[in-house]
Each structure stands twice: as structure tokens, then as C-alpha cells.
Amino acid sequence: AQSVTQLDSQVPVFEEAPVELRCNYSSSVSVYLFWYVQYPNQGLQLLLKYLSGSTLVKGINGFEAEFNKSQTSFHLRKPSVHISDTAEYFCAVRALDSSYKLIFGSGTRLLVRP
């Protein structure tokens, strides 16, 4: 079975500061990895995904993430955050077996302060 751990339930940061949201996963098979963002009262929106190839992937809104297979991590980063980045961020994993479902972490609330 797969699992995703997001250790930080909330990350406060000042506007224009850099941020890193941590994600670690567990799986006995190869995986695809995803980051989704959820704004209040909305569904989840895909930020970026890692399928294969370069371990550094870039997504929308200036976010990027790096896949580290040895540390089973997929941390999300942004060099300079804006107030509008305040939202809930979810890391998810899909095992490359017969199932197509995503398994999500518990989420990290990014709170950007002026």
C-alpha cells in the first residue's frame, strides 16, 4: 500500500519570502507524484506532476518540486510567495500497479502574511 506524509500542517511565511512544503511518500512499486492546490470552497487544481525524466519539475504559478528517490521525497518550493498563494496544498501519489487512484497526504496550509 502507498502512503503520503506531509509533516507540516501549517506554514506561515511573509510575502516575497521563499517557501518549501515537505512531502514524503512510501510505496513498494514505482510511483507518479503530484501536487494539488485547493483554494477555499473550491476543488483541487493540479500544480505539477512528476512522471519520469528530470527530477526537477516546474508547475503553474511559479512553483517547482524535486523528486528524490533515495529519500522518497517530493518537496514543493517557490522562491517568492504572494498573498494569493494562501491555500491548502496536497501531495499525492499514484502507484504504477493496476490501480489508478491517487493517495493524498493530509495537506499543508500555506499562510502568506503581508
Nine-digit cell string for 37: 492546490
DSSP 8-state class, residue 101: -
Query: Between 76 and 92, whose beta carbon lies closer to another protein?
Result: 92
- Are 91 and 8 in contact, with CB atoms under 8 Å apart? no
Residue (55 or 80) nearer to another protein, CB: 55
Residues that bind another protein (CB under 8 A): 4, 6, 9, 32, 34, 36, 41-46, 49, 51, 90, 92, 94, 99-107
For residues 46 and 38, the answer to whether their CB atoms sit within 8 Å is no
Which residue in the block uniquely carries the three cell numbers 487544481?
45
- Taking the least distance from each CB to another protein, the nearer of 11 and 44 is 44
